[in-house]
Amino acid sequence: MLAVPTTDNVYSQITSYAQPKGSYQAAGDYVTTDIYNSDFNTTSDNVINLPYQNREQVFTTTASAGDIVTFPVAFSSVQGCICHVQGNSDYNVKAFNVTNTGFTLHINSGGNNAPIVVYAKGKK
């Protein structure tokens, strides 16, 4: 059967012939470079920036019981902080008095120069 060459028919035939089949993202429905950089850009390997103003910080240091340990960069609000010994030792350490800028190190029965690794999560 011969199709009448209307504009719609011609467009449909060209599309069917020339365009790969699939579902395509709508024009403009994507994250721009500026937004991507705003979300993820960081100048330190210790600071991991994430979308929606979220931020993680991971770092190692050596500290003694009662020391105040500061985060590489202060949070606007901190949600949690985990501290653990990174090494072959029996130190039992905890982070307490956690604030937006850091925490105080507790070591059971005290101790000096404990090698610790810290993970903290909060908002930029």
Partner 1 sequence: MSDVKTDYPARYYASYDTTATQPTQVTGWYDTWDMSSLDGVPAASSMVVVTETQWNDATFHLPIGKGVKDGVIVDFMPTAPLTTQASYALSSARTYVQNNYTILNETTPDAWVTYLKALMAIANGTDTTSTTLPTAPTT
Q: How far is residue 57's CA from residue 82's CA, in Å, rounded to a whole number? A: 11
The residue range among 6-14, 16-24, 25-33, 95-103 that interacts with partner 1, by the rule CB under 8 A, is: 95-103
Contact 93, 106 (CB under 8 A): yes
Restricted to residues 3-62, the positions that interact with partner 1 (CB under 8 A) are: 43, 53, 59, 61-62
* CB of residue 84 to partner 1, shortest distance in Å: 15
Name the phi and psi angles at 39, rounded to 5: -75, -45
H/E stretch holding 116 reads: strand 114-123
Restricted to residues 65-84, the positions that interact with partner 1 (CB under 8 A) are: 65-74, 76-77
Footprint on this chain of partner 1 (rule: CB under 8 A): 43, 53, 59, 61-74, 76-77, 99-102, 107-111, 118, 123-124
